[in-house]
Amino acid sequence: MHCNQHTLSGECIFEGKGLHTGKISKMTVKPAPADSGIRFHRTDLGPDAIVEALAGNVSSTARSTTISSGEASVATVEHILSALTGMGIDNAFIEIDNVEVPILDGSARYYVEAFGKKGTVDQGVPRRWINIPEAVEISDEKTGSFVRIEPALSPSVSVSVDFNSRVLGVQQASWDLSTDYAREIGPCRTFVFFHELEFLFRNNLIKGGDVDNAIVIVEHPVSAEQLASLSALFGKPSLEITGEGYLNNLELHFPNECGRHKLLDLLGDLRLTGGFLNARITAFKPGHTINTAAAKAIRALLNIKQ
């Protein structure tokens, strides 16, 4: 596969709250030199607080992917990494003034729109494709999840999602170089089950979550009191359950939007291999833990440190 590396033609600025911490951050994605990859700079921690977007720096996969180096951590990096990958951006320097990447609408939509408007620059250096000599498979016997990565002539991803849910059913999504990431994958938002919300709040997760940045799936019967409580919590009147089993906070972009979002996450997490992975990827019930384990396994197979 032959193409050159690209970076942004100028900086793009985003601001908003983090999904899990609720903290407001300002994030600036800047052009970066060829062969520099993706690096985050925690500007609030000083000039040396740099975290490279590499699998060896993964420090947590609790509901999102966090990378750390020394005292510096950056949480929920998967959506911005997915957007950079989907938009063909090899090198970026990302300044952020707090611990968590803004969740925005729960997808990569605003990133891809900004990158598309700003445009990219051909850096005149061949892209670093990551090719593997043999198949790698990471599986979880408890959940049945797996990520299988096989040698290929061009990259492709196929994802199947099955939460044993009457609402979601089994969802499939796929991507390859012919897919319009900006239209087909980037706008697909994160999702949560209604019955998970109380647990997540109690465990100090999704402090920045609201009904504007997540699809809420209602799998079990919900009382009027529970809906009223949720409406009050999020400051949204008249929340109801649709006939399809979703909260009426938003409309789906695609019937399989949840499956597509899992693909979005997988692309972002696998960018932690350190480049563009040229492989055929097949995943069943992927999640951040198994995704990042797969990225680590690829780097180990290729004997890449960190």
Active site residues: 288
Question: Roughly what angle, to the nearest 10 degrees, separates helices 288-301 and 257-270?
Answer: 30
Task: Decide: 110 and 82 in contact? Cβ < 8 Å.
Answer: no
Phi, psi of 134 (to 5 degrees): -155, 165
Smallest CA-to-CA distance from 81 within 283, 255, 298, 295 is with 295
Core vs surface per residue 88-102: b (16+ CB within 10 A) or e: ebbbbbbbbbbbbbb
* CA distance linking residue 93 with residue 47, whole number of Å: 13
The DSSP call for residue 190 is P
* CA distance linking residue 271 with residue 53, whole number of Å: 8
